[in-house]
Amino acid sequence: MSDDLLKELRQFEDETEQCMKCGFCSFVCPVYQEERIESSVARGKNELIKGLLAGELELNSELADRLYKCASCGACTESCPAKAHIPRLIVAARADMARNKGVKFPYGFVYRNLLPNRRLFGNLLKVSSLAQSVFMPKTNGTLRHLPNFMSGISHGRQIPSIARKFLRRQVPVVNKPPGGLKSELRIGYFPGCMNEYVTPHLGKKTIEFLTRRSVEVVLPKGQGCCGAPVFLGGGDFETGRKIADSNVAAFESFDYVVTDCATCACAFEEYHRFLADTPERQEAYTRFLAKIRHITQFITDILELPASAYQAAAEIKGKKLTWHDPCHLNRHLGITKQPRQMLQSLDDAQYVEMPDAGRCCGMAGQFNLLYYELSRKIAEKKIDSIDASGADIVVTSCPGCEFQLLDNITRLRRPQKVMTLMEVLE
């Protein structure tokens, strides 16, 4: 197979030799634990990729299925003695498949026409927010049940309600500290698609938390989707570069870019690795990388707030809390102690650690849409861990994980409540 067909994969070819075939990855891979098929685990996928690079395999639908059936949780790399980054190979292989075979409908249409066009995407969601009240009855709080006649895309899943009024219609572009407080820092805030369109009240809460700590919070108009579903999930690097360029330009004047979405922060940190096809982009994406902070990281490491700064919201007082580590936060970004530090500082709530807090919940973006039944099975093990903790509330800081946990806790009729980290703070 010509190098041109495998242009992206060739750049990571050396990674294929890192794998020692020891099989440690099989003990931690959430997909392999359910399927018990060699091609489900990193070691097996690495052999498929080596066969592709050697010209022994072709880019076809069967190979695509094996490579897309990966939660990209990073547990394989974490457990690997040689730290083989097979997930990077998988992303590169997806890019070559997307470039040569295209991205199947409707994903390709969404990636190229909706996500890069923030106005069009927002208008479509406004229409959807009206339609959901007719076709999707509420089942639990803000969750809605996709009915049986939509079973081709729903499988009975619970999805969050789209907000009637989006975040940037509720807050100004520039949010200054209240009551005459002097601004100590000025940051660019990236709410992500969820806090923009689905949970704007949480975006407002983040802004208010920061402004009350003398931080000026700006929401640049030029920002859009982080691009994670486009280039990491779908392999559409061409569209990913357009999205990345827009975001980098939007946040050019800030020292920090803060987001409360673990996946968005992870996507930003991958721009330079996968999308920098020119020296100019490499330089711009590397500068951007240095600014990225997840909200937990920014609050604890940059603001260095004392324990007394964290007060429990009224609804969690007297409750037991446990923490779910989003894969993008703990394994990809290395952030584990900061959220626990914040939760353990709450005097009016009890923190308990769940078993296997870092186990993948099975969301993984596009993976959840393509392999929903498999995603459910992976989630059930996470729900068992939450049960074992005895917690009343499971806290996380990734919207994808939040909705995966909500969907499955509701489906399994469990009593726990799911909340984001900023939500539990007063």
The CATH number that applies at residue 69 is 1.10.1060.10
Mark whether 133 and 179 lie in a shared domain. Answer: yes
Mark whether 142 and 241 lie in a shared domain. Answer: yes
The secondary element (H helix, E strand) that includes residue 204 is: helix 200-211
Q: Which pLDDT value is given to residue 235?
A: 93
Q: Describe the chain by its helix, strand, coil percentages, rounded to 5.
A: 55, 10, 35
Q: Which pLDDT value is given to residue 155?
A: 55
Q: Which pLDDT value is given to residue 210?
A: 96
Query: Does 40 reside within a domain?
Result: yes
CA angle 229, 86, 37 (to 5 degrees): 95
Complete DSSP assignment for 288-310: HHTTEEEHHHIIIIIS---GGG-
359 DSSP assignment: S
Q: Report d(CA 132, CA 197) in Å as an integer.
A: 14
CA-based nearest residue to 295, from 321, 262, 324: 262
Mark whether 125 and 50 lie in a shared domain. Answer: no
173 DSSP assignment: S
Q: Report d(CA 138, CA 171) in Å as an integer.
A: 27
Mark whether 77 and 136 lie in a shared domain. Answer: no
Q: Which of 262, 287, 305 is the last residue of a domain?
A: 305
- CA–chain centroid gap for 113, Å, is 21
Q: Which pLDDT value is given to residue 116?
A: 80
Mark whether 221 and 342 lie in a shared domain. Answer: no
Query: Does 2 reside within a domain?
Result: no
Q: Which pLDDT value is given to residue 132?
A: 58
Query: Torsion angle of alpha carbons 400, 402, 408, 411, nearest 10°?
Result: -120
Tens digit of pLDDT at every position of the chain (426 positions) = 555 789 999 999 999 999 999 999 999 999 999 999 999 999 999 999 999 999 999 888 899 899 999 999 999 999 999 999 999 999 999 999 999 988 887 878 888 888 888 788 777 777 776 665 554 455 555 444 333 333 334 455 677 778 888 999 999 999 999 988 888 899 999 999 999 998 999 999 999 999 999 999 999 999 999 999 999 999 999 999 999 999 999 999 999 999 999 999 999 999 999 999 999 999 999 999 999 999 999 999 999 999 889 999 999 999 999 999 999 999 999 999 999 999 999 999 999 999 999 999 999 888 998 999 999 999 999 999 999 999 999 999 999 999 999 999 999 999 999 999 999 998
| For residue 220, cis peptide bond before it (omega within 30 degrees of 0) | no
Query: Does 126 reside within a domain?
Result: yes
Provide φ and ψ at 162, rounded to 5°: -80, 135
Q: Which pLDDT value is given to residue 120?
A: 81
Q: Which pLDDT value is given to residue 130?
A: 66
User: What is the CATH number for 342?
Assistant: 3.40.50
Q: Which of 262, 279, 305 is the last residue of a domain?
A: 305
Give, rounded to a whole angstrom, the gap between the first and last alpha carbons of the chain. 58
Mark whether 43 and 181 lie in a shared domain. Answer: no
Q: Which pLDDT value is given to residue 153?
A: 45
Q: Report d(CA 426, CA 423) in Å as an integer.
A: 8
Tell whether the torsion through CA atoms of 257, 258, 260 and 262 is positive or negative. Answer: positive
Q: Which pLDDT value is given to residue 393?
A: 98
Query: Does 1 reside within a domain?
Result: no
Record the pTM: 0.91
Q: Report d(CA 377, CA 355) in Å as an integer.
A: 17
Mark whether 298 and 341 lie in a shared domain. Answer: no
Query: Does 64 reside within a domain?
Result: yes
CB neighbour class for 173 (10 Å; exposed up to 12, middle 13-18, buried from 19): exposed
Mark whether 156 and 212 lie in a shared domain. Answer: yes
Q: Which of 279, 305, 331 is the last residue of a domain?
A: 305
Mark whether 72 and 167 lie in a shared domain. Answer: no
Residue-number span of the structural domain to which 238 is assigned: 103-305
Query: Does 322 reside within a domain?
Result: yes
Q: What is the pLDDT of residues 318-367, one digit of tens each?
A: 999 999 999 999 999 999 999 999 999 999 999 999 999 999 999 988 89
How many distinct structural domains can be found in the chain? 3
Mark whether 138 and 284 lie in a shared domain. Answer: yes
Q: Report d(CA 267, CA 264) in Å as an integer.
A: 5
Mark whether 272 and 152 lie in a shared domain. Answer: yes
Mark whether 379 and 390 lie in a shared domain. Answer: yes
